[in-house]
Structure 1
């Protein structure tokens, strides 16, 4: 499963390869409330097909209607704004006072979409610089944590996995978590040294590394844009990953299991060279409480908690006193 950003780019490449004209629409600035964040993308084909989103729907409808009436005739990028007046904000479904600024870019060979996709396939984080005057594009390796920037007539957008997720264990829950996280712009790596999991991993786009978890955690040099989730239920594997991950800068470290099992895990971790403050960073039982019981539901609960932590939502608002995996009836979480 691709992220929305990657899906839009792949669709653009397919349209161009089939001989269609298309344009890429990017949110480059917002004022007040807006339905979609800066960096959100939409692509429109010359036959009216569309993928992606830049608003709640009304702006998309207007852009599509323009293409159907006029075609894609512009040869150079254009910057447009919606919602400047109260009437426009109401017409285009923007919240009261909301304004959104978009870059409309007609795509062609100089857009370097194919080259960008090749670099993204190699898991590279790429900065794409568009000259709004000429339409010329430059591709460079992006720095971690970079965001969309506009400097004069240069628009720099970031593409590729902006976050990393290391999953310990290659079971059914891990597969669900890897698929959904990939769509959320995570570069996912799964670690499982157990022989019986070597042949059964069904996601070729997500690497399965057969290494000891603590060695891989050290090798990955986890930073503040990294997360680690331990899902094997095997202390010999989960604890190895956790004792290194909790010493790293990872923004999220979590482990599956009941409250009782996680209490025992914390006692075991204290026997290693971990401080109480480091162990307090452990999220376990893992996930936000949403009444989940199936692997897909549990994966969503885990990613919901990860997203809340990533976005700085206070713990008291996450309601993580009752967690998604702290229910005796859950068949996906054996005790």
Structure 2
């Protein structure tokens, strides 16, 4: 057992369901050891502010109602690499020393960082420079962080996408339409694949598998020939066009983000089959909802385990889920492994076994 601690906790990267449940669990477990917890606001942005933006967290502040909330009570950011921070004049500046100074201003000697692979790489580098003990907790609706079988936020995102298919199906049948649902998935098709199977989709398009208009159209025609007047198509936002181009839009801040592949696919389906086609883009609806029970349980297990690791004197470790239990592994090893959809894996085989078109074999 280590001496009394003051732990910092922050959320980084895109929000998702289950973040507040992690925070709650970490605070409750820290109270068991008699440790203080400070919540750092807006990720590393809060550490750049002077004075540092933070809130003191205790068990009275993080009750059961908080666990039901979507998003993060601390705020988060997915912009501004502190080692190359974009300045107003267009230049980039290394502001890592300011973040480390912010941690020292708070008097924390340990940090729990909740984020994806990009956030973990940055936090790990900061922790090494600043001599801060770091424990990482994986969260990403894409579920693409290596080693861990499940990341916080994924299960709820799949549930939202599945519910969307459940709601689209009656309208599709009522109007004899093909319904196309575009879901998130930065470069991995896990959400599309799981939701597509659970929601009874006829076509699932993934960035990991090549597809063709002919293959999609043939599946829809076979559905129609079987007497069904509708079809459901799920498309991951990272699927490329027939020309191999990412469907992206450039925004006023100069960033390019995914968007548009659903409409692209919908147009091709209508053109190839003559079917009346409609497109729904879920977007951030998959992120901001209350967490489902699986994400609440996983988040709680991760939050408790993170504090226990600090109590054991460990650092530079990432919490992960494997074989129905919590494990911990070096952060460096975890972020080095990217978990795309296994095109020869169980779920792809399941989809094909159900007669779903998931690309050209």
Q: Same fold (TM over 0.5)?
A: no
More helix by percentage: 2
Greater relative contact order (CA < 8 Å, ≥ 6 in sequence): 2
Q: TM-score, normalised by structure 1?
A: 0.30
